[in-house]
Amino acid sequence: MKALLEYLATSLVDNPEAVEIKERTGRYTVTYQLTVAPDETGKVIGRSGRVAKAIRDLMSVAAARQNKRVHVDIE
């Protein structure tokens, strides 16, 4: 799942080297902290949060296939 998030994030930004992903795993929950360059945060969040919601939806589907829940925090 981390590879999927990394692929999505690096595809959206102009500076893919600045993308950082931290993962915390619980028993049934996985939390990802996605950090991008400050000037590119808007590209990842999107207008009214549409891109962020799409990322979270895709990650939720991937997590459901593994019987887990996922949270994505964008900074």
Which CATH number covers residue 24? 3.30.300.20
Domain enclosing residue 43, as ranges:
2-74
State the pLDDT at residue 2. Answer: 95
Tokens of 62: 């991937």
State the pLDDT at residue 44. Answer: 96
First to last CA, the chain: 19
Structural domain count, the chain: 1
Q: How far apart are CA 54 and CA 41, in angstroms?
A: 15
Starting at the edge strand found earlier in the chain, the sheet holding 69-74 runs 20-25, 29-35, 69-74
State the pLDDT at residue 47. Answer: 95
State the pLDDT at residue 3. Answer: 96
Q: What is the DSSP letter of 69?
A: E
- According to DSSP H, which parts of 16-49 are helical? 41-45
Name the band, by pLDDT with cuts 50, 70 and 90, for residue 9. Answer: very high
Q: Is 60 helix (H, G, I), strand (E, B) or coil?
A: helix
Average pLDDT over every residue of 20-32 = 96
27-64 pLDDT, tens per residue? Answer: 999 999 999 999 999 999 999 999 999 999 999 999 99
